[in-house]
Structure 1
Amino acid sequence: MNKIGVFYGSTTGTTEDVARRIAAKLDVPSTHIFDAAKLTEAMVGEYDVLVLGSSTWGSGELQDDWYDGVKVLKKCDLSHKFVALFGCGDSDSYSDTFCDAIGILYEDLKDTRCKFCGATDTGNYSFDSSIAVVDGKFIGLPIDELNEDNKTDDRISTWVEQLKQEIS
Structure 2
Amino acid sequence: MKDTGIFYSFRSVKTGQQVKKITKLLGADNVEAVDVDIATGDDFMKFTNYILAVPTWFDGELPNYWDEFLPSLEEADLKGKSFAIFGGGDQKGYAENFVDGVGLMAEFVEEHGGSVVGFTSTEGYTFEGSRAQRGDQFVGLALDIENQAALSNERIEAWVTQLKKEFR
Verify same fold: TM over 0.5. Answer: yes
Q: Is the 8 A contact 1:51 1:86 kept in 2?
A: yes
Please give the per-residue CA displacement for 1:57-84, whole angstroms capped at 9, x wherever unaligned: 1111111110122223333321010011
Task: For residue 56 of structure 2, give the secondary structure of its aligned residue in structure 1.
Answer: strand
Once residues 62 and 103 of structure 2 are traced to their aligned partners in structure 1, the CA distance between those partners, rounded to angstroms, is 9
Evaluate the alpha carbon distance shift between residue 57 and residue 127 of structure 1 in structure 2; reply closer, same or farther with a 3 A threshold: same
AA aligned opposite 1:123: E
Superposed displacement of residue 101, structure 1: 0.5
Once residues 11 and 135 of structure 2 are traced to their aligned partners in structure 1, the CA distance between those partners, rounded to angstroms, is 30
Once residues 46 and 161 of structure 2 are traced to their aligned partners in structure 1, the CA distance between those partners, rounded to angstroms, is 23
The structure 1 segments of at least 4 consecutive aligned residues displaced by more than 3 Å after TM superposition are 9-12, 28-31
Evaluate the alpha carbon distance shift between residue 127 and residue 119 of structure 1 in structure 2; reply closer, same or farther with a 3 A threshold: same
Superposed displacement of residue 86, structure 1: 0.3
Evaluate the alpha carbon distance shift between residue 31 and residue 163 of structure 1 in structure 2; reply closer, same or farther with a 3 A threshold: closer
Once residues 136 and 10 of structure 1 are traced to their aligned partners in structure 2, the CA distance between those partners, rounded to angstroms, is 32
Once residues 141 and 9 of structure 1 are traced to their aligned partners in structure 2, the CA distance between those partners, rounded to angstroms, is 17
Once residues 3 and 122 of structure 1 are traced to their aligned partners in structure 2, the CA distance between those partners, rounded to angstroms, is 29
Task: For residue 22 of structure 2, give the secondary structure of its aligned residue in structure 1.
Answer: helix
Q: Provide the alpha-carbon RMSD of the alignment.
A: 1.9
Residue number in structure 2 paired with 1:113: 113
Task: For residue 86 of structure 2, give the secondary structure of its aligned residue in structure 1.
Answer: strand
| Counterparts of residues 65-80 of structure 1 (less than 5 Å) | 65-80=65-80
Residue number in structure 1 paired with 2:143: 143
Equivalenced residue count is 168
Residue 39 (structure 2) pairs with residue 48 (structure 1): no
| Counterparts of residues 8-157 of structure 1 (less than 5 Å) | 8-9=8-9, 12-29=12-29, 32-157=32-157
TM-score by length of 2: 0.91
Task: For residue 87 of structure 1, give the secondary structure of its aligned residue in structure 2.
Answer: strand
Once residues 52 and 30 of structure 1 are traced to their aligned partners in structure 2, the CA distance between those partners, rounded to angstroms, is 15
Identity level (%)? 30
- In structure 2, stretches of 5+ residues that fail to align are none
Task: For residue 78 of structure 1, give the secondary structure of its aligned residue in structure 2.
Answer: coil
